[in-house]
Amino acid sequence: MPFARISHTAGKSESFSTALSQGIHRAMVDAFGVPEDDFFQIITEHGEKTGLLGPDSFLGIDHSADMVFVQITCAEGRSTEQKKALYAAIASNVAAGTDVGEEDVFINLVETKRENWSFGNGLAQFAG
């Protein structure tokens, strides 16, 4: 049930967005055990220096203007080890499928209770 918001600078090819989407979803399947068909994403392009802002360097990591921002909202309950595996897999998959380096993949994970989700029909499918 993860929901991913993926943001990158404009001017990239359609295959770039596809590679981001697939790499991030593959990481969620592998690290979190998400079913293959559990696939909800919003991919947004932003003009250079108008919508995606960050420092040139933070925590000893240098960033370029091509930074990709990934925010994943998911149900709570994964271990720290699973989260670390997810972050590593996303960075690796994005770097392998695009021209973006692992250092330019910023990831934020937001956990919610399962009752906070509706997948259609106005129902809370996972509420107790």
**Phi, psi torsion values for 114, nearest 5 degrees:** -60, -30
**Phi, psi torsion values for 126, nearest 5 degrees:** -110, 10
For residue 2, indicate whether it is catalytic. yes
Question: Do β-strands 3-9 and 105-112 pair in parallel, antiparallel, or remain unpaired?
Answer: unpaired
**Which residue in 2, 25, 69, 93 is the catalytic one?**
2
> What is the C-alpha to C-alpha distance for residues 46 and 50, in angstroms, rounded to an integer?
7
Q: In this structure, are residues 118 and 107 in contact, taking their beta carbons and an 8 Å threshold?
A: no
The residues annotated with a catalytic role in the active site are 2
